[in-house]
Structure 1
Amino acid sequence: MPLAFCILAHKNPEQVRGLVQALSSQRSTIIIHYDQRAPNAERRILQKLAKEHLHLSLIRPRKVNWGRWSQMQAQLDMMEAALSYNKKWTHLLTVSGQDFPLQTVEQIESFMSQHPQQSMIEWFDPFEAGRWKDACERITRWHFDSDALQRILRIPGVGRRIQGLFGWQNRIPFLPGVRRQLPSSFRWYGGSNHYNLSREAVEYVVRDSRAQSIARRLRHVASPDESYIQSALLNSPLAETLSNSDRRAIYWERPDSPSPKTLTLADLPQLHEARKQGKFFARKFDLNTDAGVLQRLASELS
């Protein structure tokens, strides 16, 4: 059962190389989006990597702003590329450049072959689950996805004053004074931005007009990559094919932390337990923080 892997990355091309090596097989398709802002030297490393792997494609990059629609669109671009690139894969898995597999490709293929129609994503009701304290803010505010604004906010001194003026401290910039109604044509869901989707589900979220209608409504929510896929599929005829698990091992220093814990060799016992539980991937890793844990996991998979 061939798989497609979509890697969204923005730094550490050598770490991405190690991830590609772990995911490569005769049957797997790998699609990479590497942020347009990355230095040309890093891009050349990945261009060389694409030439070394027959089933790897490096797609045209976007400037991705964290927590904005551009982050979701980069994933949709990879999904569309995967659909066009290979007609044989049955499931598509999304990973970041700082993920690493806990299972071999063959083990993941074997599991998916037992669930051929199923998609595995995490979902919850943002208002009932208590997971997002800012659920109402996320969906009713009009959030900007502007590269020009991001450049201004990075100017020392200037950016901080602007953020203070509009109440944007530690928040995704939004249009002040504007509140939108909750969606009435569909139910809004949230969840993890790591997905394991059947080919049919990928075709639906990328190409179906009903999904595109939901995408237009969620284009200016905060972190749409944590709600678009869930909302599109759970309001679709494919809802019954979904399993509520992203099969990822992700660890947090604090529940309200904006970024997961960076894993090291000291976390190996947890990672081994996650492998026993059937988790496909763990995150996040940083080659510059602890290369040893990546080397250890790679050796265990070989």
Structure 2
Amino acid sequence: MRLLQRGRFLLFLKLTLVLGSLWMLSLLTRSRSGWNPSYSWLEYTDDDSPEKMCDCSAILQGEREALEQAKLLTITKDFKKSVHIPDEYYMNASQDCSAFKLRRKYLTFPLSQEEEEFPLAYSMVVHHKVQSFERLLRAIYAPQNVYCVHVDKKAKSSVLAAIRAITACFPNIFMVSQPVDVVYSAWPRVQADLNCMADLYNASTKWKYLLNLCGQDFPLKTNLEIVRALRSLRGGNSLESEKMPAEKMWRVRNAHQIIDGTIQGTGKAKEPPPFNLTIMSGNAYFVVSRGYISSVLEDKRVLALIEWAKDTYSPDEFLWATIQRMPGIPGSKRPHIKYDMSDLNAITRLVKWQFHEGSQDSLNAVYPECQGNHVRSICIYGVGDLQWMLEHHHLFANKFDIDTDAIAVHCLEKYLRKRALSKLQ
């Protein structure tokens, strides 16, 4: 009798899954053929949000009263406490994956055929702030994409456990096979990305472009907008790659080593780079094609450059930029100065450096003053920066910190989800 009941239950469960899949397929088919279903259940609402007192529409339009109200709220002790989510919440909530994805409103089906046919790969290097990681993941998640997550080996055990629990809920998200102990400005920061690159390359043959992120990034575009921006590259790459300034040449002319968790000079000069390569200046973040990644993993010239770079200072700020200017690399450009690309011209990442900020009438200022605060000369964005950053073509911005300004992230989340769903109406 028990076997009969169990058999009936399994049959019922299978029928439920099949009917659910057919229903979802029906929604997508009707949507593509012109029928307009309601996707309100996927919208972010303020019902249970501590940020509900803020008017995101007014904030995004730069209205002074709304901005001042938000800024006052972010410095309130009770508000800061209310928006903080401990690591343990994610460990517990993700035990029931279906409920977690439903409660957090993850997009579990492609929103368009265009996106489905142009899957992306993401490398995510994080070391703390699980809440920021999860909100970033939710903002960029799509079931056709593939994601590799690298958690620093120095990270707290609760951080690793929480992120491992979250990623286990998704078949297209995995933890890197070989995590490393990341050291700021040293080779392990590059190795973390390289390990994810190799895992992503072997995990799927379908993805078209790879984007690398850190835990304090956040998108400025929807997945569809990112796909269209990458399609327009026509196989090219987009990343900062400029002539190395003379004041930075010591980074690649002198050997360095890691001592007690920090990078230090050895006092020894390095040999010139292999193949007489021109070393370019750039940054750690890129948007590159699958062909570029194939070259990074297999091209003998690139592999020689990688070995040569392992004892340099801040290799992440020249390696990708140099590879981008090597002849024969898919999507590359010649090393001539006419092909130089600044961080503002690339679509990769929008960053405000403190020494480039200034007033509106300043002739030397690259961008307006930071409306948040600064860490290591980089602006931690506040709500007052949102209107400015959404005017740019960049796909992502850095840096955000929920502990500094949760409302900035909240309003971006709402803006992007509304924009993504509006394409379906």
TM-score, normalized by the shorter chain, greater than 0.5: yes
- Residue 40 of structure 1: how far off its partner (Å): 0.9
Checking the alignment, whether the CA contact within 8 Å between 2:273 and 2:305 is kept in structure 1 is no
Residue 249 of structure 1: aligned partner: 350
- Residue 78 of structure 1: how far off its partner (Å): 0.8
Q: Which structure is richer in relative contact order (CA contacts within 8 A, separation 6 or more)? A: 1
- Residue 240 of structure 1: how far off its partner (Å): 5.6
- Residue 51 of structure 1: how far off its partner (Å): 1.5
Stretch deviating more after TM superposition (185-194 or 239-248): 239-248
Stretch deviating more after TM superposition (245-254 or 91-100): 245-254
Asked whether 1:286 is paired with 2:401, we answer yes
CA distance in structure 1 between the partners assigned to 2:144 and 2:234 by the alignment = 16
Checking the alignment, whether the CA contact within 8 Å between 1:90 and 1:116 is kept in structure 2 is no
Asked whether 1:216 is paired with 2:329, we answer no
| Match among 216, 226, 251 for residue 108 of structure 1 | 226
For residues 253 and 233 of structure 1, do their structure 2 counterparts lie closer, same or farther at Cα, with a shift above 3 Å needed?
A: closer
Residue 50 of structure 1: aligned partner: 167
* Structure 1 unpaired stretches of 5+: 154-171
For residues 184 and 53 of structure 1, do their structure 2 counterparts lie closer, same or farther at Cα, with a shift above 3 Å needed?
A: closer
For residues 114 and 240 of structure 1, do their structure 2 counterparts lie closer, same or farther at Cα, with a shift above 3 Å needed?
A: closer
Larger radius of gyration: 2
Checking the alignment, whether the CA contact within 8 Å between 2:236 and 2:330 is kept in structure 1 is no
- Residue 247 of structure 1: how far off its partner (Å): 3.1
SS state at 1:103 partner: coil
Residue 13 of structure 1: aligned partner: 130
Q: What is the TM-score with the length of structure 1 in the denominator?
A: 0.84
| Match among 185, 207, 227 for residue 318 of structure 2 | 227
- Residue 10 of structure 1: how far off its partner (Å): 1.1
- Residue 258 of structure 1: how far off its partner (Å): 4.1
CA distance in structure 1 between the partners assigned to 2:179 and 2:270 by the alignment = 31
SS state at 2:182 partner: coil
CA distance in structure 1 between the partners assigned to 2:327 and 2:316 by the alignment = 18
Q: What is the TM-score with the length of structure 2 in the denominator?
A: 0.61
Checking the alignment, whether the CA contact within 8 Å between 1:67 and 1:224 is kept in structure 2 is yes
Checking the alignment, whether the CA contact within 8 Å between 2:153 and 2:180 is kept in structure 1 is yes
> Matches of residues 250-265 of structure 1 in structure 2 within 5 Å?
250-254=351-355, 258-265=376-383
CA distance in structure 1 between the partners assigned to 2:238 and 2:297 by the alignment = 17
Stretch deviating more after TM superposition (11-20 or 262-271): 262-271
Asked whether 1:28 is paired with 2:118, we answer no
Stretch deviating more after TM superposition (232-241 or 51-60): 232-241
CA distance in structure 1 between the partners assigned to 2:331 and 2:396 by the alignment = 24
Asked whether 1:77 is paired with 2:195, we answer yes
Residue 120 of structure 2: aligned partner: 3
- Residue 251 of structure 1: how far off its partner (Å): 0.5
* Structure 2 unpaired stretches of 5+: 1-117, 334-338, 358-374, 418-425
Asked whether 1:93 is paired with 2:194, we answer no
SS state at 1:221 partner: coil
Checking the alignment, whether the CA contact within 8 Å between 2:323 and 2:329 is kept in structure 1 is no
Checking the alignment, whether the CA contact within 8 Å between 2:351 and 2:378 is kept in structure 1 is yes
CA distance in structure 2 between the partners assigned to 1:287 and 1:143 by the alignment = 35
| Match among 117, 139, 149 for residue 252 of structure 2 | 139
Please list the CA deviations of residues 233-263 of structure 1 after superposition, one character each: whole Å capped at 9, or x if unmatched. 3123027644832432100122598442111
- Residue 139 of structure 1: how far off its partner (Å): 0.9
Checking the alignment, whether the CA contact within 8 Å between 1:214 and 1:231 is kept in structure 2 is no
| Match among 54, 57, 61 for residue 179 of structure 2 | 61
Query: Which has the larger helix fraction?
Result: 2
Residue 182 of structure 1: aligned partner: 272
Please list the CA deviations of residues 129-149 of structure 1 after superposition, one character each: whole Å capped at 9, or x if unmatched. x6xx2x221011111134xx2
CA distance in structure 2 between the partners assigned to 1:193 and 1:53 by the alignment = 27
- Residue 290 of structure 1: how far off its partner (Å): 1.0
